[in-house]
Structure 1
Amino acid sequence: MSVEIVSKHHQAQGAFDFGRIRENKPIGFPHENGGMNSMSNIFYWAHAWSDVGGLIDTHPHQGFEIMSYVLDGQLSHYDTKYDRWLGLDTGDAQVIRAGNGISHAEKVLPGGNFFQIWFDPDLSKSLKKEASYTDIKQKDFPIEKLEYGTVKTIVGAESPLQLDTEGICVRDLTDIRKGNWSMPLSKESVYSVYVLEGGGQTDYGTLTKDDFLVVKNEDLLSINFGSDSRLFIIESPAKVSYLTYAEGQGIMA
């Protein structure tokens, strides 16, 4: 059994554009204080926002698959492969398959906030591929209304957004009603849970907004929500079949 809760105040912190863009990082870079280190094949996870708008200037990537998911507001994205700016609205997602190298920039419009998550594919293969990206609009994701709330599948199952990174499933759970809630788990997977709204009580401690919960080797996740809530959940393999970046592959991000 392994369960860990990382509150927002214990996550790594960061800023861009002279503080116009702020971020907390449940999974930060190895040199940063706070948050957790990479797990499974999730290398990095940041929640970024801007009240006034800001720019993350052009910078390079290679190897990783980098997903941006717009929680609220708007982003604008530029990359050197296609040499144009494209907009992302609330509920939209984008994956950059950085491959053998690409540079990009992001503008966060006033009031925008989003997740950026770096997934770790088999770098011995991804570094040999041309860089590419996929934008998916909110309306194109599968959404299922269940008794306890609504589930939007962003990656995995019938989603149009697919990754080369092994065994990833990403879901946005909204309108989870106040009261007892549970989700069956597989011991073959790791579950990374970000509390976007609301919160509640678990057997392992209290969850509040922006807390991060990681669950391994459990059969069931149960939360008694004190108010209507929203969870963002990534399921990844407990054991990855290839050597991850964190395990020692020496390439630049």
Structure 2
Amino acid sequence: MLKRIDHTKMGSSDLGWLKSKFHFSFADYYNPSNLNFGTLRVINDDLVEAGTGFDTHPHRDMEIVSYVVNGELTHGDSMGNKRTLSRGHVQYMSAGTGVLHSEHNFGEELLRFLQIWIIPNKKGYEPNYGDYLFDWNDRKNKWLHIVSSKEGDAPIKINQDSNLFALELDKDQEIDFKVGKDRQAYLVQIEGSSDINSIVLNMQDALEITEEDIKIKALETSHFLVVEMKK
């Protein structure tokens, strides 16, 4: 089963320094019928102006993944980590029993990144941080496995049976993605436009996929993120 999510009908926020699209209920956007998709609790498509950002704030009991689309994202936290990531790079934080962190755009250009929250398989993990500077070419016309469970083989591992994949597909190229029995996936059209099983997605649209294989054709060069998980 497939369900297209039109980005123009998503929740949104404009704070001046921060403009966001909310795939699920978040902050002042609350929709009781759109709280999550399986263990996927949050995908926020954030635009952060230069010289601004999220000052230090707390999180707990959530697996948080940030995927940088454009610009520079600088992370700091109460565990002593400080890192700056750019296009295609990924950071992960297990908030566990509690952590303080900040996310800023100290660069000169607009920052766009996807903030992804996944519900862990249990509460009370020890907080943890990691990041990975993926080579952009590793997602050119092929799936790049960026996140998996602790039992999986992706470079970044989280406390949940979930997988994240990234892809840049050249115009007119095609690729498959399989979603088997008792599995589901949430696909984000980050950039470009595509035809997926005769459903057209435009930039910032999304697609819920339940127990169905898909074939993607890029109508223009396209950039995707997929979160695959147990149903």
Asked if these proteins are the same fold (TM beyond 0.5), I'd say yes
TM-superposed deviation, 1:31: 6.4
Which residue matches 1:28?
Answer: 25
Q: Does 1:174 align with 2:168?
A: yes
Superposed counterparts of 1:97-246, under 5 Å: 97-108=94-105, 109=107, 110-123=109-122, 126-127=123-124, 129-139=125-135, 143=138, 149-156=141-148, 157-166=152-161, 168-178=162-172, 180-203=174-197, 205-218=199-212, 220-238=213-231
| Partners of 2:58 and 2:101 within 8 A in 1 | yes
Q: Distance in 2 between matches of 1:177 and 1:204?
A: 16
Q: For structure 2, which runs of at least 5 residues remain unmatched after alignment?
A: none
The letter of the residue matching 1:68 is: S
Please give the per-residue CA displacement for 1:26-56, whole angstroms capped at 9, x wherever unaligned: 1233862469321111111111113434211
Which residue matches 1:57?
Answer: 55
**Aligned residue pair count:** 225
TM-superposed deviation, 1:180: 4.9
Which residue matches 1:248?
Answer: none
For 2:54, what is the secondary structure of its paired residue? strand
Q: Does 1:93 align with 2:86?
A: no
Which residue matches 1:71?
Answer: 69
With over 3 angstroms needed to count, the CA separation of the structure-2 counterparts of 1:23 and 1:192, relative to structure 1, is same
Which residue matches 1:247?
Answer: none
TM-superposed deviation, 1:159: 2.3
TM-superposed deviation, 1:142: 9.7
TM-superposed deviation, 1:202: 4.0
For 1:106, what is the secondary structure of its paired residue? strand
Q: For structure 1, which runs of at least 5 residues remain unmatched after alignment?
A: 239-253
Q: Distance in 1 between matches of 2:112 and 2:196?
A: 27
Which is higher, the Rg of structure 1 or of structure 2? Answer: 1
For 1:143, what is the secondary structure of its paired residue? helix
Please give the per-residue CA displacement for 1:51-105, whole angstroms capped at 9, x wherever unaligned: 43421111111100111111111111111222x5321222221111111111111
The letter of the residue matching 1:233 is: V
Task: Normalising by structure 1, report the TM-score.
Answer: 0.79
Q: Distance in 2 between matches of 1:213 and 1:228?
A: 18
| Partners of 1:98 and 1:131 within 8 A in 2 | yes
| Partners of 1:189 and 1:216 within 8 A in 2 | yes
| Partners of 2:139 and 2:168 within 8 A in 1 | no
| Partners of 1:63 and 1:121 within 8 A in 2 | yes
For 2:8, what is the secondary structure of its paired residue? helix
With over 3 angstroms needed to count, the CA separation of the structure-2 counterparts of 1:66 and 1:180, relative to structure 1, is closer
Percent identity of paired positions between Structure 1 and Structure 2: 21
Task: Report the RMSD for the aligned CA atoms in angstroms.
Answer: 2.5
| Partners of 1:53 and 1:112 within 8 A in 2 | no
Task: Normalising by structure 2, report the TM-score.
Answer: 0.86
